[in-house]
Structures are given as structure tokens and as C-alpha cells.
Structure 1
Amino acid sequence: MIEKLTPPAPPTTRSLRNLVPKPVNVDLSINFDFDSARLQANSKPLLDNLAQAMNSERLSNLKFKVEGHTDAKGKPEYNQELSSRRASAVQAYLTSQNVNADRLQSEGKGASELLVPEKPMASENRRVRISLVP
């Protein structure tokens, strides 16, 4: 009976002064078929989610790097051009999802930065990497 008459303890409050926002980090890879700059169907939902996040209040003032990559097969000049087309394809898709093109820096890297250097022809090397511009 005493428990029923005892008022509950007042709720504790938390100060917002001690909350530190977590740093934003975006690092996403989109893979491509051999000798192709065409987006794979399974990449579009990832890019849709990314575009939605990029347009959110938290990320809307940030810029992003869109880097195209290839595997090591083929001539360096061709791989450079293909990697640029891959980056452009991702950039075009993101802008079609209302991401401002001024926020995207597109660049082709060719085969200069292999994800799996011990397997230069591996499909994992054929990608576009999207990251936050520091």
C-alpha cells in the first residue's frame, strides 16, 4: 500500500549539450558487367536509397565523388574512357533522382586503382565508388 501512495520519481532529462553528432561517412560501390557502362538492375535500388539519403537534410549540403574503375583487361586508353562512362552513368542516375549535379564530382580512374590487385581481371574491379568529398 505504501508503494501505491509514493509518487513516481521525476523523469530524468538529458542535456543536448553533451550530444556530439556522428561524422557522416558514405562509401558505396556499384559493380558493372565486363566491357559495360550500363547499370545493373540490382544497382538501382542501392542508388535510389543513396539518392534519398543524399537529399536528406543531414546530407543535402555535402558533395560526393563518383569514381569509375575497370579491371586490367584491355588498353589503358580504352579503360580510362570506359571508367569515365561508368562514373557518368551513376552520376546521371543520381541526378535523375533529384540529386543536384553540382554536388557530384565524376572521374574515371581506368585500371589504376584495382580493388583486388592480386586478381587484376576480377569482376570486383569493375565498379563505381561513391564517397564523401572531405
Structure 2
Amino acid sequence: MVQQLKTPPRLRSLRNLAVEATGGAQAQAPERPSLSLLIQFDFNSARVRPQSQQALLNLSQALLTPELASSRFAVEGHTDAKGNEDYNLKLSAQRAQAVADFLKARGVTEERLVAAGKGATELANSESPYAPENRRVRIVNLN
């Protein structure tokens, strides 16, 4: 878990080095280290089910390790495509906040966490928009 969330080592820059994209393509920034957790919540609720608490305990311990202690993290709540878009955004934000609150209660400082709801805007399984893996919480290293 720690390895998945660590930022890659920074490379030293080289002077007078020009990089040009071929074919008009723009270079994309590397994706930030992240971890998706299938956290179970009560139906239509932001209450974390007891069977998901161990995963969150493991996450809180990982975030408190020396390798991650200085990093900030986004806690993103995601839903499947079932239901109203506005409702899904609100529910996913509440679930992200519930996970952030759980982590804060275990010693992760509030300044290190930013909770946000994404609703069904970024499905993990776009082939099956109602699949359980779309109902998740994603932790993203912001450093």
C-alpha cells in the first residue's frame, strides 16, 4: 500500500535539452500515485460497513509511515451509474468525507486530506457502469 502511494523519485534536470513531441501530440503529465479501495457502505448511506474497517485501518497506518508522512492526499468518492447524477455526486462526497473522517480519527491530520465526490464521472469499469468496482474510494497522492 505504501509503495503504491509513494511519489516516484524526482529526476535531475538536464540543461539545454529540448524535447519535441512528434506528430503534434502533446506530452502528458505522469499520473499521480493512487490506490482504489472497495469500501462497503450501507445502502444509500455514507456509513462505512464494519467489514471495510480493516482496509481503512491499514490505509491509516500506511499514511502515517515515514515514507508518506509529509504527503497530502485526495480522498475521492465514486459511485456506479445507477441513480440521479446530482444525488450520486452528493453521496460520493459524503462517502469520501466519511473515509477522511475515519482516517483523521486514526491520527492522519486534516491538513493532509482533501475529500471530494466524483459521482459516476470516472467509472473504474466503463463496460459495466453498475458494477460494484465502480462504487469505490480512491486515494491519490497530491505531492
- Per the normalisation by structure 2, the TM-score is 0.72
Structure 2 residue aligned with 1:32, among 40, 48, 68? Answer: 40
Asked if residue 48 in structure 1 is aligned to residue 57 in structure 2, the reply is yes
Q: Deviations over 1:41-63 (max 9, x none)?
A: 22211111111121122211111
Gap regions ≥5 residues in structure 1 = 1-21
Q: Considering only aligned residues, what root-mean-square deviation do their CA atoms show, in Å?
A: 1.8
Aligned-partner Cα distance in 2 for 1:82–1:126: 11
| Partner of residue 129 from structure 1, selected from 135, 138, 141 | 138
Q: Is the contact between residue 40 and residue 51 of structure 2 (CA under 8 Å) also seen in structure 1?
A: no
Q: Distance in 2 between matches of 1:89 and 1:113?
A: 20
Q: For 1:23, give the aligned amino acid.
A: P
Q: Which residue of 2 aligns with 1:74?
A: 83
Name the structure 2 match of 1:112. 121
What TM-score does the superposition give when structure 1 sets the normalisation length?
Answer: 0.76
| Deviating more after overlay: 50-59 vs 88-97 | 50-59
| Residue of 63, 70, 75 corresponding to 1:61 | 70
Residue of 5, 16, 23 corresponding to 2:8: 23
Q: Structure 1 residues 26, 70: closer, same or farther in 2, change over 3 A?
A: closer
Point out the structure with max Rg over C-alpha.
Answer: 1
Partner SS for 2:38:
strand
Aligned length: 113
Runs of 4+ that moved beyond 6 A? none
